[in-house]
Amino acid sequence: MFGRSKEINKSTAWKRLESQAKKMRKIQMRDMFDKDPKRAEKYTLKLDNMVLDFSKNIIDDKTFECLLKLAKQAKVKQKIEQMFAGDKINITENRAVLHIALRNKDNTPIYVDGKNVMPEINNVLAKIKSFSEAVRLGKFKGHTGKKLTNIVNIGIGGSDLGPKMAVEALRKYWGKGINCYFISNIDGTACAEVLSKLDPETTLFIVCSKTFTTIETLTNAKTCRHWLVDALGEPAVSKHFVAVSTNAKEVEKFGIDTENMFEFWDFVGGRYSMWSAIGLIIAIAAGYDNFEKMLAGANAMDKHFLNSEADKNIPLILALISVWYNNFFNVRNHAVVAYDQYLTYLPAYLQQLVMESNGKFVNLDNKFINYQTSPVIFGGAGTDVQHSFFQMIHQGTSFVPCDFIVPAISHNEVGEHHEILLANVLAQSEALMKGKTVAEAASELKSAGKSVDEINRLKKYKSFKGNRPSNTIIFKKIDAYALGMLVAMYEHKTFVEGVIWNIDSFDQMGVELGKQMALKILPELQGSRESKDHDSSTKALIKMIKKMRK
């Protein structure tokens, strides 16, 4: 069994970390930097053109040692090997977890139930390559013979957030004339706003649903189908719709040629699926060569994750630092700030990856958990967020650990823009770490010529406690390879957190309850039938909404 009988918060390593945390709460990072000139060098790791500096964290050698012992006690190494071996570590759904196989560039055999999955994966990749190139070159044309330049991805959750994030991150590589759109929300406005921008003759829809029954996706797909048929007629459907699914019968029933159906597998979870045929829009937009580079970058991180020693393992160390604050400093939030406009959607993608994976309260031994699991992930693009939530990060009553992500070289080197951007990200991490004491604030005010009364009135307002932790992740440039490394790094970090918390990071039972109840409420909103099952608030709200809609 993938779980373990002894609860991790009762382990020796956990108890030592509790004791260590009491000591470290009294330590200032600025003092640790003053005492150890080589601190940054000690806590910096490199992989290809990526650098991770985790020195601005409230850790010392003893803390780091204790965290590594926690990973050992949780059998992280063994669990990593089980995942790569194709063991069914998703125990609630009895499935292997093999998104790593999708980017297995060495093509070494990976087995599930005694069957090597690589031939099927390679077949689908070849199909993605052939189709994406045909669309980009205008060989696969629309019903009226025009080139398809407007590509619309219809999906939700992992079938939307991953490809949407990646397509935007690789915008600089989009093919000439290609435009990409995403429809996910069941709100009719999502469809209406996208369709209002499109020409039916040049539009290709990619319907992403493993079962081809997802209500949000199928409702949106049917609306788009009606729009297309009204403009071009029923025969146009097969030239303007393709599917990423496993349900050939329903795909064909919809009017899609099953030759244009791209498969993926049960061992690929939704939020880990951008590497599969779900990434078809990435291949069309940025080109299959860049899609392959993205897979190669992820594969490089996979190999690093599988083969590196714990004290040099980037995803593992990031996970341990997260657990350190989450479980021993009672920190409930984590911010991800990308100083690259093309990574605008990365925080939203990571919200699903982290919180859907690890937002669980039952462990692998079928017991309720009595310790904190997933933190709340939020973030945005720097420098915009410096003028929104950074006030709280700098002077709020609780600290928020941050990940800063930045490329050394921009895709758009315009004047001094990128140097100013780089100066900002470096300044933010240093300011959060150092802070500014009341005495330092008073000295600055005095130098500015303020009176004694003004100094006494303002010095506390101008002070910063500091000692706020952050990781700085630098890439030479955010290209497809770097993007693959970055996303795989966060996938593996999330997995290690789940291993330590002894939870199944690969199911999403919490998504289902609201959907089930929505299916019960829908007929009541559409008709006169009333249910006795609802609470008084829900009953009243249904009545009020029906009255308003009349």
User: Catalytic site residues?
Assistant: 356, 387, 515
> Other C-beta atoms within 10 Å of 183: how many?
26
Q: Which of 269, 261, 297, 280 is nearest to 164 (CA)?
A: 280
Name the token pair of 112. Answer: 């599930």
Query: How many Å apart are CA 250 and CA 227, to the nearest integer?
Result: 20
488, containing H or E segment:
helix 480-501
3-state secondary structure of 172: helix
In one letter, which amino acid is 212? F
- Alpha helices per DSSP H over 214-335: 215-232, 237-240, 248-254, 280-286, 288-307, 314-328
Query: How many Å apart are CA 100 and CA 110, to the nearest integer?
Result: 10
- Cα distances from 151 to residues 157, 179, 261, 321, in angstroms, run 18, 6, 16, 40
For 429-463, what is the HEC assignment? Answer: HHHHHHCECHHHHHHHHHHCCCCHHHHHHHCCCCC
3-state secondary structure of 500: helix
Q: Which of 17, 29, 154 is nearest to 429 (CA)?
A: 29
SS3 content of the chain, % helix, strand, coil (to 5): 55, 10, 35
Query: How many Å apart are CA 415 and CA 343, to the nearest integer?
Result: 21
Tell me which DSSP letter residue 246 carries: S
Query: How many Å apart are CA 446 and CA 455, to the nearest integer?
Result: 7
Strand partners, 543: none
Name the token pair of 209. Answer: 């649903």
Cβ contacts of 350 within 8 Å, gap of 6 or more: 336, 377, 379, 490
3-state secondary structure of 36: coil
One DSSP character per residue, 369-412 reads --S--PPEEEEEETTGGGGTTHHHHHHSSS---EEEEEESS-SS
Name the token pair of 429. Answer: 């991490």
Name the token pair of 252. Answer: 């064909």
